[in-house]
């Protein structure tokens, strides 16, 4: 039997109370997602394998819904801002919502058919991620980016395609500004 519960989400730190699980990703755990592999190796060495993001969840066995937070550190690898791995959901009929609480970023989306979109992430914006759109979040600011996400427990994460071929667009710093550019290494 499941009982209702109020869960405290701290929009500055990403803390979830009570929490049921967490993991963190350091840069070394994100091999292959950044274009500049020498900048990637250098950052691991020079910055002592920095933390890139942390995911904390509230998930009850047998519930159809779970939620949690992702807290992303600011930083770059070469000209690319810190980003999540990015994924499709295993179940193609499952979407998600991302509610940004602090910091600024971009949510990069790509449909199965190859259409691309982005949604600005800033406090108060709840991004709707339709079913079967790959999604990756990018911290384009100088502060932590904290967002709460809400998803079906059976959605599943399919990382394979994005890891193998990347996404069609990159989010880079260009002349001091945030720019979305074509990924020159993208192959279908």
Residue 55 interacts with ligand PA5 (CB under 6 A): yes or no: yes
Residue 87 interacts with ligand PA5 (CB under 6 A): yes or no: yes
- Residue range at the interface with ligand PA5 (CB under 6 A); choices 40-48, 78-86, 111-119, 166-174: 78-86
Q: How far apart are CA 31 and CA 13, in angstroms?
A: 26
DSSP strand E in 18-168: where?
A: 21-26, 51-58, 65-72, 76-77, 80-81, 88-89, 96-102, 105-111, 116-121, 126-129, 133-139, 145-152, 157-158
- Residue range at the interface with ligand PA5 (CB under 6 A); choices 10-18, 79-87, 102-110, 114-122: 79-87
Of 92, 112, 157, 165, the one binding ligand PA5 (CB under 6 A) is 157
> Could you tell me the smallest distance in angstroms from the CB atom of residue 59 to ligand PA5?
11
Q: How far apart are CA 138 and CA 173, in angstroms?
A: 12
| Binding stretches for ligand PA5 (CB under 6 A) | 55, 70, 84-87, 96, 135, 137, 149, 151, 157
């Amino acid at each position: 039997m499941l009982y209702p519960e109020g869960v405290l989400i701290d929009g500055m730190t990403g803390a979830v109370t009570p929490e049921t699980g967490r993991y963190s990703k350091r840069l070394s755990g994100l091999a292959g997602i950044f274009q500049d592999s020498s900048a990637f190796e250098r950052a691991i060495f020079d910055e002592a394998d920095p933390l890139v993001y942390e995911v904390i969840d509230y998930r009850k066995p047998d519930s159809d819904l779970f939620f949690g937070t992702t807290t992303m550190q600011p930083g770059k690898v070469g000209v690319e801002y810190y980003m999540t791995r990015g994924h499709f959901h295993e179940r193609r009929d499952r979407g998600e919502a991302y509610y940004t609480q602090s910091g600024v970023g971009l949510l990069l989306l790509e449909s199965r058919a190859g259409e691309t979109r982005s949604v600005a992430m800033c406090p108060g914006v709840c991004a709707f991620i339709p079913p079967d759109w790959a999604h990756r979040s990018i911290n384009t600011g100088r502060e932590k980016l904290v967002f709460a996400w809400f998803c079906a427990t059976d959605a599943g994460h399919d990382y394979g395609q994005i890891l193998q071929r990347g996404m069609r667009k990159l989010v880079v710093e260009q002349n001091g500004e945030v720019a979305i550019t074509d990924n020159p290494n993208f192959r279908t």
